[in-house]
A and B are shown apart, each in its own frame.
Chain A
């Protein structure tokens, strides 16, 4: 059961050239297995969002190889970024429409997806009528509508309050299992990473390199405030602080 779906081998990413060049990622190597939940953790400037853009194919790598074996990817951001001119169901239907599905089929599938994120009764609402947490769930339904095998998430819960975030962790964990997804989850919240991840990859800043790869073996379901999660989060936080302090001079 250890078939690799994402292979990042010696990947570097440089923006610009000459003296103003910025090295965002420096010889990063990383493998993600099918069905794995991997959290990318790091301080500002570690290139975690860059890494997601590369995996999503939105940006080109400067050197190295990146292979996702022809799998489909979808990307979620900190903002739900739903289209306000479409209803909630319309937003979820858009990827289906682009796949060429017929109207009836689209409607049925969107309804199923909204049920998965527990928003079955909200299809006719407008995005602005929903709360931030609900909008993120619509964005998740839209991402699922792309039939992606790999879900890339760029601080998806960063703008939400603690209570909502906590509940959405449970929801994401459930959906990840039910839909058999591979998740690459970027965050700067250490506890969140330990709460969710099978692995937590700690990246260095400017340039981004893989510092350490922590395996999180606590049995699920986990609670973000459990002693196990807190204990391991403290260990990773110490490592992260040491990395941040390195940039003091």
Chain B
């Protein structure tokens, strides 16, 4: 019986480790933190500069009177004024609370529906395409029904936010589950994964990147639905961002209208950035994008 050492020289262990070291190659240097921040920041700063300049140019061209279309300087002053009042922040809080509670509810419903549809073939045949149909439905279309069902109330707004976002969440999960690579499923079989354990250790983690994309899209839909809702439905006593904007329009306060547009834009960008962080973290972990 020969010994376990099958190669005479050099040592087998050295050959293996040497090959590993060669294949992995040297580590790339990412550069200093300040440099990285600057590289990611300057295109955004440039974009803002271009937008502001274009806006200013339109104002200077006197396309509309200044009380209808004020310049960036005047709006910025108004914006700083608005954000320095605690009243404004309670409006932001109200709007974000609505958005978040609607979104969370949509995620719960979308996830349950998504898992159910991908598990049971008859259910998929029955409502699979309905979900896609709902996704393309403009959420404003739901308001008349929501008002009939819930009157002008928080529930009406919540209803529209949820029905706008849940299909995207469900669809993201369904396509994630559908496209779990066959080789992973085979490994799952070999490891004896079944039932709940299969979902826990294989299907759900494998579907995560697609699920996050669904969440991101769902958020975008719920945010849009909410803004439409706040402009259309004024729930008595609730001074949300949308209502404040509507009031500003009624008072022909263009500076305030533009300020609120900027506020909504900034909130949208911040939340999108948060989703991107989660999305990139998952993709990086999965090896879908390189570091």
Contacts and interface: CB of A to CB of B under 8 A. Distances in A.
A102 interface: no
B191 A146 contact: yes
B205 A83 contact: yes
A118 interface: yes
Interface in B182-208: 183-184, 186-187, 189-193, 197, 201-202, 205-206, 208
Nearest to B190: A75
A83 B183 contact: no
A99 B2 CA distance: 34
Contact of A74 (B186, B190, B208, B287): B190
A56 B192 CA distance: 11
Interface stretch (B18-26, B219-227, B237-245): B18-26
A90 B5 CA distance: 29
Given A167-B19, A173-B6, A220-B2, A81 B186 contact: yes
Contacts, number: 88
Contacts of B20: 119, 131, 133-134
A203 B104 CA distance: 58
Interface in A101-158: 118-119, 126-131, 133-134, 146
B202 to A, nearest CB: 7
A94 interface: yes
A183 to B, nearest CB: 15
A81 B19 contact: no
Contacts of A94: 191, 201
B285 interface: yes
A236 B7 CA distance: 25
A72 to B, nearest CB: 10
B15 A81 contact: no
Given A94-B201, A134-B20, A167 B286 contact: no
Contact of B184 (A74, A83, A119, A178): A83
Given A81-B184, A133-B23, A126 B192 contact: no
Chain A residues touching B, range: 35 or more
Contacts of A228: none
Contact of B12 (A126, A133, A170): A170
B187 A170 contact: no
A18 interface: no
B47 interface: no
Given A77-B186, A98-B192, A170-B6, A131 B287 contact: no
A81 B189 CA distance: 12
Interface residues of B, number: 34
A167 B15 contact: yes
Contacts of B12: 167, 170-171, 174
Contacts of B16: 118, 167, 171
Interface string A159-180: 0000110010011011001100
Interface in B248-291: 285-288
B23 A134 contact: yes
Contacts of B13: 118
Interface string A184-225: 000000000000000000000000000000000001110000
B184 A85 contact: no
A81 B183 contact: yes
A84 interface: yes
Nearest to B197: A98
A79 interface: yes
Contacts of A95: 191
A33 to B, nearest CB: 16
Nearest to B289: A128
Contacts of A83: 184, 187, 201-202, 205-206
B24 A131 contact: yes
B4 interface: yes
B17 interface: yes
Interface in B40-87: none
A21 interface: no
Contacts of A131: 20, 23-24
Given A98-B191, A118-B17, A134-B20, 5 more contacts: A81-B183, A81-B187, A83-B205, A119-B20, A134-B23
Interface of A: 56, 58, 74-75, 77, 79, 81, 83-85, 94-95, 97-98, 118-119, 126-131, 133-134, 146, 163-164, 167, 170-171, 173-174, 177-178, 219-221
17 contacts: A56-B190, A75-B186, A81-B183, A81-B184, A85-B208, A98-B192, A98-B201, A126-B287, A134-B20, A146-B190, A163-B19, A167-B15, A170-B7, A171-B12, A177-B4, A220-B6, A221-B2
